[in-house]
Structures are given as C-alpha cells and as structure tokens.
Amino acid sequence: MLRKFNTNRTLADNIKLGGLTAFVAGMVNVASIMIFFAFTSNITGHIAVLAEEISKGNWYQVAIVFGWIFLFFSGSFLANFIVINLGNRKRSMAHSIPLVLEIICLSVVGIYGQFFYQETLTETELLLALMLFAMGLQNGLTASISNFAIKTTHLTGLMTDLGILFSMFTKENYRRNQELRDKAKLLLVIVSSYLVGGIVAGSIYLKASFLVFHIVSAILLFIVVYDYYKLKSKIRVKKKKLFSIRSKFHAALDNEQVSYTKREQPAEG
C-alpha cells in the first residue's frame, strides 16, 4: 500500500490505501463534529469561516481558524517533505513516518479526551488543531505517493471528477477506456469508504466516545504493519530465490570440478 511510488502503483494499491484512509478521514471528521462542533478533514468550510470572522472583526476566532488551516497545510507539507527527502533511501520508512505521526496525534486526542478533557475552549481548540494537523499529514502522504490520484480527507474535488467521469461514460469510447474506468472505481471506493467511516463513527460515538480515535489509530497501524509485513515477505522471497540460485550455481560448479578431476585422472595415471 505504502511502498510503491507514483506510476509504479497499481489500481489495487490505490484502492486499498484510498479506501482505508478515506474510512479513517470519515470517522475523524464525524467524531470531531459530534464532540467538538468543528470539521477537521476539510478546509473549504474553514476558509469560508475565516472570511466570515475577518468581516466581523472577531480577531481571536480569526487567529484560531487561521492556525487550524496553517496546521493542515503544515501537515501536508511535512508529509511530502519526508517522502521526497527520505524516499530515495528508505522508501517504506519514509512513507510510514507520516502515518506514524498521524497515529501519535490521534492517540493523544483519544487519550487526552478520555482521561483529562474538561471541555474548556482552549482544550477543544488544541485538540482540533492536532486533528487538523493529522489530516493534513494523511492527505499530503496519500496525494504525494499516488501522484495526486488519492485525496481522502475532502470530497469536493473528488465529486467533481466523478461527475465529469460519469458524463464521459455516456460515450462508448470513454466507457471502453480502462484508465477512466479504473479512476471511477477508485473514486467510488473513496467516497463510499468516507461515508461508511462517518456512519460507523456516528453510530459508535455515543457508546465509544473518545475510543473512536483509538479505533482510527488501530486502522492506521494496520496499514503500516501490513506494509512492513509485505516488505519483509518480499525480502524473504528474494533471499530464498537468491539462495536457490546460489545453491544451483555451487552445485553446477561442483559438478564441473568433479568432471574436470575425472578428465584429469587418466592423464595422471
């Protein structure tokens, strides 16, 4: 899911990564609305609110919303910064670090919320800031490694693309285009996963409350571990192949030596 980069990624890689991360984004967004009364995975609304607060002259709220937007931006910046600077040497690790950071942020929200949250405004603002940073990290990572094919935290652009694709499919030649069909499949998976994630978070929130964030962290951890496991098994298969080639080579070499010795023996006698 995470190892492959840009054009090396298959549709299956993108569907797995897009589906799981969109599910996470849906859960986080719905949980944040229900607990904190603010969105955390989409920025369009925050930009509109920022404009509204500027026009009203509410400078404290302007600062808060500006800070949230800036943190989402910083998360996306950091994720791509890690990918492009560490990616050439240790790609798997570089692609996992943003997710690990996201897990840390969301676990802090979950643990703090469960044990220490007193519902003060400052706490609410700080926890929302962490969640926006985490969503920035996730969106930056998925967009960066998939060559901008996967964006999972907001669906405006995605719905636009789906609308365009579905109108293209009214023509036979576009319907036969495998690339377009794959894209539509990926977008549909992302939308449905986001929706299902939201529904799950909404349904379990009343019982689970801040545990929602631990479930989200567990899903993200699964992505990282799954990729690590895949990488390890790939290395094991490669090692096995190399070992069998080497063994065959040695065996061939031994045979060659035996036949050489056999050829040499009569001359000595």
Partner 1 sequence: MKTKAGFLRRNKRSLAYMAFFIIGALVFSLLIVQDKSPDQKIIGKWREVSWEYEKVNRKKAGSNMPKKQITDDVKHELAKNLIIHRAETWEFLPDGKLLLYQADGTKTQLKWNLKGRGHILKLRMQDDVTEYYDLSDLNREKMVLYFDVEIQAKGIVRMKFEKIT
What is the contact surface with partner 1 in residues (CB under 8 A)? 36-38, 49, 53, 56, 58-67, 70, 74, 119-122, 124-125
C-beta of 42: minimal distance to partner 1 in Å? Answer: 15
Tokens in use for 19?
């589906």
Nearer to partner 1, 20 or 65 (CB): 65
Count Cβ atoms below 10 Å from residue 31 Cβ, excluding itself.
Answer: 31
C-beta of 154: minimal distance to partner 1 in Å? Answer: 19
C-beta of 204: minimal distance to partner 1 in Å? Answer: 19
Which DSSP category does 101 fall into? Answer: H
C-beta of 53: minimal distance to partner 1 in Å? Answer: 8
Nearer to partner 1, 59 or 166 (CB): 59
Task: Provide the H-helix boundaries in 37-90.
Answer: 44-56, 59-86
Nearer to partner 1, 22 or 127 (CB): 127
CA distance 20 to 113: 24
Q: How far is CA 68 from CA 16, 41, 50, 61, in A?
A: 29, 11, 10, 11
CA distance 73 to 136: 6
Nearer to partner 1, 74 or 192 (CB): 74
Tokens in use for 17?
């990564």
The angle, 0 to 180 degrees and rounded to 10, between the axes of the packed helices 91-115 and 211-268 is 150
C-beta of 184: minimal distance to partner 1 in Å? Answer: 36
Task: Provide the H-helix boundaries in 116-210.
Answer: 121-145, 156-168, 172-175, 178-208
C-beta of 57: minimal distance to partner 1 in Å? Answer: 9
Nearer to partner 1, 60 or 249 (CB): 60
Which DSSP category does 8 fall into? Answer: G
C-beta of 128: minimal distance to partner 1 in Å? Answer: 8
Nearer to partner 1, 49 or 223 (CB): 49
The SS3 assignment for 124 reads helix
Nearer to partner 1, 38 or 190 (CB): 38
